[in-house]
Amino acid sequence: MLIDSHAHISDGKFNADRQETVKRAFENGVKYIIEVGCDPDEWDKVSEFSKNPGIFSMFGIHPHDAVKFNDNTKSKLETLLSGKNCVAVGEIGLDYHYDLSPRNVQKKVFIEQMKLALRINKPVCIHCRSAYDDLFKFFDELKELPKGVIHCFSGNLDDAKRVLDLDFLIGIDGPCTYPKSDKLKEVIANTDISKLLVETDCPYLAPQAYRGQRNEPAYVVEIAKKISEIKNMPFDEVCKITSSNTVKLFNMGN
Ligand SMILES: [Zn+2]
């Protein structure tokens, strides 16, 4: 059993074969998929799609779309977060690589959503790109942190240790299969398997075997295989433990 803990199947790139994509994942040993709605303009699509069996959801406002945060989107977000299959607030965070929303707005919207997660007692899924120093600074400013995962982890080993000290988990994606991802491989080798989740972040970041193509949840197998190779651990163990980490973090029952 595997769980793709982070997917964007509502993306237009799956318009022609969305149901077939999900079917391929289930046929490849994926039991659950967590679908992410992080752009207010896409929330309705994600909410509709996540009614399908085996699909869970999370909702939030991505740092790219932080400028879309207002009273209306905030109240709609709270309604979506109370949905039956919704397991987390996300993905939320900071992205200083693209800077699509001004940094001060990213910060404000990130902090607001962290506080919201605490209030409704849900974990968070954090997106952080080229912004780890500020992420830790803002964590310090919050008196209390929800549980959560740093999704698509791209920091170094020191960042990973700080993340683990704060009791967050680390999400591992396709880049761990790339030949030049030494930094990420070092993080995987030195992080206990009980702290790792696997995720595709599809349609982005296809693993090496499919690089350049559209990514999809069935390929999460490639990530578990790579972790098993790096940690010299049976593939089945990797699947079992990362799945149980995911179920536990996101309170997914059985
Ligand atoms: Zn994502």
For residue 48, give every residue at least 6 positions away whose Cβ sits within 8 Å of its Cβ, in sequence order, or none. Answer: none
Q: What is the mean pLDDT of the chain?
A: 96
Measure 98 CA to ligand 1 centroid, in angstroms: 14
- Whether the model clears a pTM of 0.85, i.e. scores above it, the answer is yes
Measure 203 CA to ligand 1 centroid, in angstroms: 9
Q: Helix count (H) and strand count (E) of the chain?
A: 9, 8
The radius of gyration computed from the CA coordinates of the chain, to the nearest angstrom, equals: 17
- DSSP annotation of 109: H
Measure 51 CA to ligand 1 centroid, in angstroms: 19
How confident is the model over 28-87, as pLDDT tens digits?
999 999 999 999 999 999 999 999 999 999 999 999 999 999 999 999 999 999 998 999
All domains of the chain, ordered by start, with CATH?
Answer: 2-249 (3.20.20.140)
Measure 66 CA to ligand 1 centroid, in angstroms: 15
- The dihedral of CA 221, 223, 227, 229: what is its sign? positive
pLDDT at residue 138, as a whole number: 96
Measure 62 CA to ligand 1 centroid, in angstroms: 9
Measure 60 CA to ligand 1 centroid, in angstroms: 11
Measure 175 CA to ligand 1 centroid, in angstroms: 14
Ion ligand 1: residues, CB within 5 A, are 201
Measure 61 CA to ligand 1 centroid, in angstroms: 11
DSSP 38-70: -SGGGHHHHHHHTTSTTEEEEE---GGGGGG-S
pLDDT at residue 33, as a whole number: 98
The yes-or-no verdict on residue 94 having pLDDT over 60 is yes
Quote the CA–CA distance of 9 and 24 in Å, as a whole number: 13
Q: How many CA atoms lie within 13 A of 141 on its CB side?
A: 13
Measure 165 CA to ligand 1 centroid, in angstroms: 24
Measure 141 CA to ligand 1 centroid, in angstroms: 25
**Percent of the residues in the chain that have a pLDDT greater than 90, as a whole number:** 98
Whether 81 contacts 97, CB under 8 Å: no
pLDDT at residue 253, as a whole number: 77
Measure 216 CA to ligand 1 centroid, in angstroms: 12
Measure 192 CA to ligand 1 centroid, in angstroms: 23
Q: Can you tell me the mean pLDDT for 148-171?
A: 96
